[in-house]
A and B are shown apart, each in its own frame.
Chain A
Amino acid sequence: MIEARHLVKRFHDRKRGSVCAVDGVSFACRPGEIYGLLGANGAGKTTLLRVLATILAPTEGVAIVAGFDVTKDPQMVRSRVGFLSTATALYGRLSAQEMVEYFGRLHGLDEAALRQRIDELFTRLDMNEFRDRRCDRLSSGMKQKVSIARTLVHDPSVMIFDEPTSGLDVMAARAIVAFIRECRDSGKTVVFSTHVMSEAEKLCDRIGIIHDGRLLAEGALAELRARFAIQDLEDLFVKVIQS
């Protein structure tokens, strides 16, 4: 479960002064649901998701993620969240297994449980073949799998994906999309951001359109279509951000 109430994140930028990257965003996402944040580059998606993942602290507002307040119990939140973005890279000099092991240990798993969990994940994701290969020598598809295993090693109940498919080829992107669906089907709370309309259309149970740090419209795709009387999501998106 994710619940954000009036989240505000302000930065101090030397050139532009105070910048409000997230400006009073409220939304909720339930377990077994995919919530898609749709917005152009610079709309504030990444900042919002980083606040939810406790990588950044909110300036104002409250967010409850997996039952814990991101400001008061960030470590409890992080131990229940899996965060994946194209910016979350792997340690190139560690092997695939060492990489996942490291994060398992950081999550406090004991060695026996960790070994079991890794065997299970590596088999499920079909990674045993490159288990001991260094991450910087893996193909992008393999890296993707290591990242997925890394986010799943502690069996999080909330998954946050920040533009997970950007920069990936078709096959890798499809694998990620399938993985996001799988997360929902196993009852996890899933939030993901994208600027690709088709992806949002395909995946999301509910969509939030974000622009200039503000959440301008929100609802299931069918609801949004009915409310704005526009079928095409792209046209709808443009209409929302221009109004």
Chain B
Amino acid sequence: MSLRYIGVVYRKELTDSLRDRRTVISMIVVPLLVMPLLTIGMGILSVTLVGQALKEIPKVMILGGEDSPRVVAELEQVKDLQVVPAKADYAEEISDKRVRAAVEIPPGFEARLAAGDPATVKIYMYEGELKSGFGAERLQRFFRELRDRTIRERLQARALPDSLVRPFEIDEKNVAPPEKVGGEILGGMVPYFVILLCLTGAMYPAMDLTAGEKERGTIETILCSPISRTHLVLGKFLMVLTASIATAVLSIASMAFSFGVGKKMLLGALHGAADSALKITVTGKAVVSIFVVVLPLAVFFSAALLALSLFAKSFKEAQSYISPLMIVVVLPAVAALLPGVELNPALAMVPVLNTSLVSKEIITGTYHWGLIALIFLSSSVYAAAAIAIAVKLFQREDVLFRT
């Protein structure tokens, strides 16, 4: 093993690749542009959308209630509700988002309340639709208050204390404001993009250094130089790894930067009203930890891509091998975004998914050191296997000279 010759190959491939526009774009331009656009853009978008939904005064319909004028009048007085004339096709109106929610007041509602008879108020809403939910919530709040008032009046009429129906209070505090939703999505998205960029950063150089050499006819030139094929493949591998790591480092750096900037911008945009806007702060520790767990994955990607594209006769063929690989990588990376998928020792063995999951944890400030070590170890084993395969393939004539 001679480091000198590996170095000669590496330096040449680095010079060569840095003159290739495609490599430079995927290695430098994409991480520097995609990350800020993604984090800042997505953040702004989600916060603005939620903010807008909160600001909008939902339109609601009152169905029935002709014989309960007091309740209807009170409802019409509610500030953050806009009552529109009732229509028979209220369900359709809600579905079409012309109206956010509707409330059906049963006949003789006020009379029944006075008489102490049971009654049911129905609220119609579009489940899962944010703005409809807000409308329904406000209607509910109104009727809950009305109910509480009625109870109090009845208790007072019988000279009973309030605590009879309210033996204790439940104080529920929401720690996740709607804005947090945006932050949580980002927290899951970031490792996913770092992993993906790690792969795409390695993709072009891997194809260029193998299938590209075959296509351009330089493979025979290099094979008739006295360098051993092991040195040759290791030099190439180091170049692909450099591209992959450069992409990952640049994307992590630009991610940290855009979180900083994005947070300030969002806070400014919300006039400090929601200082919990982006609860996520990316610490230096998180950045370094993500880099450490992603490193063996970058080695694995680089070697695997090198081996895979060496099989191909041309750039085009290499692309057709690697495109499906993209999906294979994206799936486990996305799986980590699913709710309920949590890191455990078994999942720590699944390549890509483990890194995605652990990065998600790290970014939200959770460090399971045992699992992190396990993931680093298992990824390293996969990486070593991939390098061994790439080196083996470079010794095979039928792969180098596939026709």
Contacts and interface: CB of A to CB of B under 8 A. Distances in A.
Contacts of A128: none
Contacts of B12: 91, 94, 98, 102
A174 interface: no
A78 B224 contact: yes
Contact of A108 (B9, B216, B220, B226): B226
Interface string A67-89: 00000000110110101010111
Given A79-B226, A93-B19, A88 B220 contact: yes
B180 to A, nearest CB: 49
Interface string A89-107: 1111110001000110111
B284 interface: no
Contacts of A90: 218, 221
B360 to A, nearest CB: 39
Nearest to B9: A106
A92 B216 CA distance: 9
B398 A12 contact: yes
B5 interface: yes
A236 interface: no
Contacts of A12: 398
Interface residues of A, number: 32
Interface string A141-161: 000000000100000000000
Interface string A114-129: 0000000000000000
B16 to A, nearest CB: 5
Contacts of A107: 225-226
A105 to B, nearest CB: 5
Contacts of B113: none
A94 B226 contact: no
Contacts of B19: 93, 134
Given A81-B224, A83-B224, A105-B8, A93 B217 contact: no
Contacts of A196: none
A91 B225 contact: no
B8 A88 contact: no
Contact of B226 (A78, A87, A89, A93): A78
A75 B228 contact: yes
Nearest to A9: B397
A55 B223 contact: yes
Interface string B220-246: 110111111000000000000000000
B15 interface: yes
Nearest to B231: A106
Given A55-B223, A93-B20, A102-B8, A87 B228 contact: no
B220 A55 contact: yes
A87 B224 CA distance: 12
A200 interface: no
A56 interface: yes
Contacts of A89: 216-218, 220-221
Interface residues on B, range: 20 to 34
A103 B220 CA distance: 13
B217 A87 contact: yes
A203 interface: no
A165 B160 CA distance: 112
Contacts of A103: 225
A76 B225 CA distance: 10
Interface string B1-45: 000010011001001100110000000000000000000000000
B225 A56 contact: no
A88 B225 contact: no
Contact of B217 (A55, A88, A98): A88
A7 to B, nearest CB: 15
Contacts of A150: 221
Which of A57, A83, A89: most chain B CB closer than 10 A?
Answer: A89
B367 interface: no
B199 to A, nearest CB: 24
A180 interface: no
B221 A88 contact: yes
A108 B217 CA distance: 23
A55 B225 CA distance: 9
Interface in B199-229: 216-218, 220-221, 223-228
Nearest to B397: A56
A91 B16 contact: yes
A204 interface: no
B224 A98 contact: no
A134 B12 CA distance: 14
Contacts of B8: 102, 105-106
A53 B223 CA distance: 9
Nearest to A103: B225
A75 to B, nearest CB: 5
B270 to A, nearest CB: 49
Interface in B279-309: none
Interface of B: 5, 8-9, 12, 15-16, 19-20, 216-218, 220-221, 223-228, 397-398, 401
Give the 4 A-B CB pairs with smallest separation, nearest first: A89-B217, A83-B224, A79-B226, A78-B226
23 contacts: A55-B223, A56-B401, A75-B228, A76-B226, A78-B224, A81-B224, A87-B220, A88-B218, A88-B221, A88-B224, A89-B216, A89-B218, A89-B220, A89-B221, A90-B218, A91-B12, A92-B216, A93-B15, A93-B19, A94-B12, A102-B12, A105-B8, A108-B226
Given A75-B228, A83-B224, A88-B224, 17 more contacts: A55-B223, A55-B224, A56-B397, A78-B224, A81-B224, A83-B220, A87-B217, A88-B221, A89-B220, A89-B221, A91-B16, A91-B218, A94-B15, A102-B8, A106-B227, A107-B225, A134-B19
